[in-house]
Chain A
Amino acid sequence: MTAPTTSGARSTASLRHRLAERGIDASLWLMVPALVFALALFVYPFSYGIGLTFQPGLATQERWGGGVFANYVAFFRDPFVFDSVWITMRLALPAALFNVLASIPVALVLRRKFRGKRFMTSVLVLPITLGTVLTAQGLLIFAGRQGWLNRTLMSIGLIDEPLQLVNNYVGVMFSLIITGFPFAFLLVSSYLSGIDPSLDAAARTLGAGWWQRFRRITLPLLAPGLATTFILTFVLAFSVFPSARLVGDAMGSTRVMSLMAFRAFGEQNDYAMASTIALMMGVVELVVVAIVLAWRSLFYKGSTGGKG
């Protein structure tokens, strides 16, 4: 019945109404501050930065050639810089994996109520408030050659010489785990509690043992949440900066990308190169995130029925 049969049966809705149907009305002004913010402080600088990467300094051009792409040429050809990609991945991937995987059993065990649960949960979450710099200082003292950790191990007799646990890969790894685990644990915990407990009960009545229930019910339902947690933990670990400098070997084995970027920015004042490294950081991270998201899309992501 779309043809008007009587006069005056055309749409009486005003233009205002028809626009409102599509979602355009005065309330869109609410979005303006946020949009201004995003454009001015994010989109514009980011595009400016991308533009910068194509304006290499004279020194870079002379040394590496390649015209406008000199920065990129330098990035890929200079082993000091390029190796930082692998060095960063070598730190971030295992750290993120460990954090996510280790938080699963901990979240499972801490699911039930028991005396001291609040205490344990606070202990596990506390490092979030401490931050990387404090953790770095603490690790230097605690895990240093003269620190309590080495002293205890030596006095127990486990080792003869103090272990080199700081100013190297190990120190940074410790730092990443201490600051990253609480975050992963919080997320995994809440994803776990989002799974309806009666699903586990139903599986029991059907004869499934503990491992089977975990592998076939809990884990598949948890997997999308695990993927998300991994992505976020990875982003955090990949951006590692102060720890790599303070507890690591800044110009050596823990020469992470953010350090390289900052070296170009602050020490060499080569803004173009710094932007290039920063951009490549984003690209590498994006690739990893994309892979994980693709893998995640294979799973059932619908409602899991719990209270969350």
Chain B
Amino acid sequence: MTTTSALCDSLVKIVGKDFVSDQKEERYFYARDGGLMPPHEPDFVVMPKTTAEVQEIVKLANKEKVPLVPKGAGLALTGLVIPQRGGIVLDMKRMDRILEVNEKARYVVVEAGVTQGVLKSYLQKHHPHLRHSIPDSPPVATIVANAVIHGQGRLSQQHGFNSDMVSGLEVVLPTGELCRIGSCSVSSYWFSKGPPLPDLSGLFLGWFGTTGIITRLGLKLYPCKKMRDVMVFLTDKAELVPDMLLKLSHTEMIEDVVVSAAPLPLRFRGTFWIMTYITGDSDEELEFKRKMVWDALWEYFESRDVGFLSVSPDMKPPLMSMPSKDTSRFADVSKGGGFQYAGPIAPIEKFPAFIRKLEEVATKYNVFYASTTRLIGAGHCMMFSFSFSFNRANADEMARAKEALDECSKFALEEGGVLWKADIYEQKLLMDKMDPNTLVLMKKIKQLLDPNGIMNPGNWEVK
């Protein structure tokens, strides 16, 4: 094996000295994220600019059997880019070009470091009639990382997970070969990640960088209507929420539905905010959709189970903003700079049970909680967040928050949910419950693609 110093020299030759660091400060920062997973330092942080550089780095790492962890903004909060076995963290954010927008086929091709914020801004400026599904994560989250973790966003109620909106990939395999996935493998167009070909994108999406490094990604774009509004409904009856969500999605008129719950302010404790977003190109279209939404929920008004919140002018901007800064603000509820959530993907019928569990666990561990639920697809499932904020200066509170999260994850799994962006411990829980033949298949795929096990080791490791 090459010495650390020789490896450093080789990396410098590939990307230049300004973009390789083995200094303590970078190793410290890239050893952790904003969540609760224990840190582990990389040996190097490297920032490639081109696909060719990524290939060279991968070939080097594969030859030397050095772990390699591709990283976007590191905002999953479940430690997915913490280098569990050291090695090289590849910070992809210098690969920041938006390469193509095809207006007529409605897709964009981006490099791996393009952020949600930059793409949003670019589309608003250059293609204002197109948009992408913006997640609630901060704008520095990358398009690629969000797809790799099967993120959701503002268009997930209509179009599924953000990874369902991928329309092609360019991937550096763990042995260094460059591979195109989807229509772009046979055509200059990036309109489909699979069909009508075998859909190989599943070899990379959801694998957390353990099967290759995505260097380019095609993403479907959708019509951006001229107007947008939010209607907020309130109920204190959790058991009604699943049917309400189904009725809302039945209208096929809504952009997005999010249900939030939090114990503060006190006047809203026990109340669920059902935030229903609609869009339109005219007042008439928007008004028609408002009426459809009202009609869908009318029976609940008549039974006085639901109320309508008139959104004041000062409340509206934060509710409408994409991404929502309130998501990050939750980290400061405990005045301590941390929050993490277990976000199981589950049938929406589980909403009442999950809410009860959240309140029970928060009381048990004395931690501050919140929850945001997003409808995914036409009622096909939901992402339910068991969110806990904590003070990073309070080790005891951090430990309690972790215990609360673990208990919620186990509960969600028992209830039939599947853990989203699972940390390495949750991955083990999932794999313990997984069909054995599925596990064997995963193992074969991993061994085939990454024979030396260099890619993000510790994650999705089938024993």
Asked if A and B are interacting partners, one says: no
